Amino acid sequence: MYVGRFAPSPTGPLHAGSLVAALASWLDARAHGGRWLVRIEDVDTPRCVPGADRFILSQLATCGLTPDEAPTWQSRHGGRYQAALDQLVAAGHAYPCACSRKDIEIAQATLGVTRQRGAELPYPGTCRPEHGGLRGRAPRAWRLHTGSFASDGAPAPADAHFTAINSEAPSGWLTWHDRRLGPQRQHVEREVGDFVLQRADGLWAYQLAVVVDDAAQGVTHVVRGEDLADNTPRQMSLQRALGLPTPHYLHTPLVLAADGHKLSKQNGAFAIDLGDPVTALRDAAHVLDLSPATGDALAPALAEWSAEWRDRWGVDSASAMARSAVIG
Ligand SMILES: [Zn+2]
């Protein structure tokens, strides 16, 4: 049984970019005859804007994108996340870290690694138990020991490994298949390092909350923006560490701002026009390479895009293409 979800952060209203992800995940659930859930990702409470959650839900309703169950809020799932962290600690897959950002910069500088603009430095594993642990320092955060799930030091995998779906090559590369982007890979331990599960300020990390909730809600298919694609291997590592299934992934194209960067509140993303949902959805459909849809009524337009999506991404799309080829 297909279960999909749209998981917005309530840091502001839906804009053109987030509507693309919402529409795509809704269409994919319809195309598979599945259920579509909405989950408000509000674990990073300092970034949340009061009232934005309700506003997003009203925007979705105006666009005819209604969830099949009552929406959920991650801020109410702390017990779930604590249980998952306890499980990881008990299994030796998570450990406490005493490093500040500055500590990590210094450790990496000694290794000759400098921060790229806008990128996080990979964690060098300073507080790993095999490196001596906290050595008397006070714990700040909890991290996943990625080495437990990906070994290091061997050469990059051959192409045969690269195309393997959801498999882990012995070299430490994590490879997976994205339904739209095709074969993907990342060396989590080297490119990201042991990532944070619970932050120094006590807040739950996005990666842990997403993985735990996707599993708790039985999510089988994740459809979201391409800016989140490089989170996938971290989430897969966590799924393995927790013994959870890995969903299918499809990452949608991004809406770019005039400056070529991802659309954000900083570069002019504005709330979609609730007065004209079909036009807003038509723009989103265009980004998804769907037809403009005829007419100005909401329901027929959504039905048209659903049929088109089913042909392209639906469960029978391959056999449908084969059939049409035979019919000519
Ligand atoms: Zn540390």
Q: Per residue in 36-51, pLDDT tens?
A: 999 999 999 999 999 9
Q: How far is the CA of 108 from the centre of ligand 1 (A)?
A: 12
Task: Give distance in angstroms: CA of 94 to centre of ligand 1.
Answer: 12
- Ligand 1 mean position to 118 CA, how many Å? 21
Write out the chain in H/E/C secondary structure.
CCEEEECCCCCCCCEHHHHHHHHHHHHHHHHCCCEEEEEECCCCHHHCCCCHHHHHHHHHHHCCCCCCCCCEEHHHCHHHHHHHHHHHHHCCCEEEECCCHHHHHHHHHHCCCCCCCCCCCCECCCCCHHHCCCCCCCCCEEEECHHHCCCCCCCCCCHHHHCCCCCECCCCCEEEEECCCEEEEECHHHHCECCEEECCCCCECHHHHHHHHHHHCCCCEEEEEHHHHHHHHHHHHHHHHHCCCCCEEEEECCCECCCCCECCHHHCCCECCCCCHHHHHHHHHHHCCCCCCCCCCHHHHHHHHHHHHHHHHCCCHHHHHHHHHHHC
Model pLDDT, residue 265: 63
| Ligand 1 centroid, distance to 312 Cα (angstroms) | 46
Q: How far is the CA of 123 from the centre of ligand 1 (A)?
A: 8
Asked if 179 and 221 touch (Cβ cutoff 8 Å), the reply is no
Distance 106 CA to ligand 1 centre (A): 12
Same fold, 3-73+255-327 and 78-206: no
Residue 81: count other Cβ atoms within 10 Å of its Cβ. 21
Which pLDDT score is estimated for 43? 96
> What tens-digit pLDDT sequence spans the chain (328 residues)?
999 999 999 999 998 889 999 999 999 999 999 999 999 999 999 999 999 999 999 999 999 999 999 999 999 999 999 999 999 999 999 999 999 989 998 988 888 877 666 667 889 999 999 999 999 999 999 999 998 664 333 333 343 333 333 344 456 788 889 999 999 988 888 889 999 999 999 999 999 999 999 999 999 999 999 999 999 999 999 999 999 999 999 999 988 877 777 776 666 667 777 788 999 999 999 999 999 988 889 999 999 999 999 999 987 554 444 444 444 3
CA 148 to ligand 1 centroid distance, Å: 17
| Ligand 1 midpoint to CA 97 (Å) | 4
**CATH class of the domain whose range is 78-206:** alpha beta
Ligand 1 mean position, distance from CA 125 (Å): 6
Give residue 101 CA to ligand 1 midpoint distance, Å: 9
Give the per-residue pLDDT at 149. Answer: 65
Predicted confidence at residue 187, as pLDDT, reads 86
Residue 114 Cα to ligand 1 middle (Å) = 17
Say if domain 3-73+255-327 classifies as CATH 3.40.120.10: no
Ligand 1 centroid vs 141 CA: distance in angstroms? Answer: 8
Q: How far is the CA of 188 from the centre of ligand 1 (A)?
A: 17
Query: How much distance in Å is there from the Cα of 203 to the middle of ligand 1?
Result: 17
Give me the residue spans of the domains in the chain: 3-73+255-327, 78-206
Give the distance (Å) from ligand 1 centre to CA of residue 216: 30
Distance of CA 142 from the midpoint of ligand 1 (Å): 9
Tell me the CA–centroid distance for residue 139 and ligand 1, in Å. 8
Q: Output the CA 126–ligand 1 centroid distance in Å.
A: 5
Residue 127 Cα to ligand 1 middle (Å):
4
> What is the 81 CA–ligand 1 centroid distance (Å)?
21
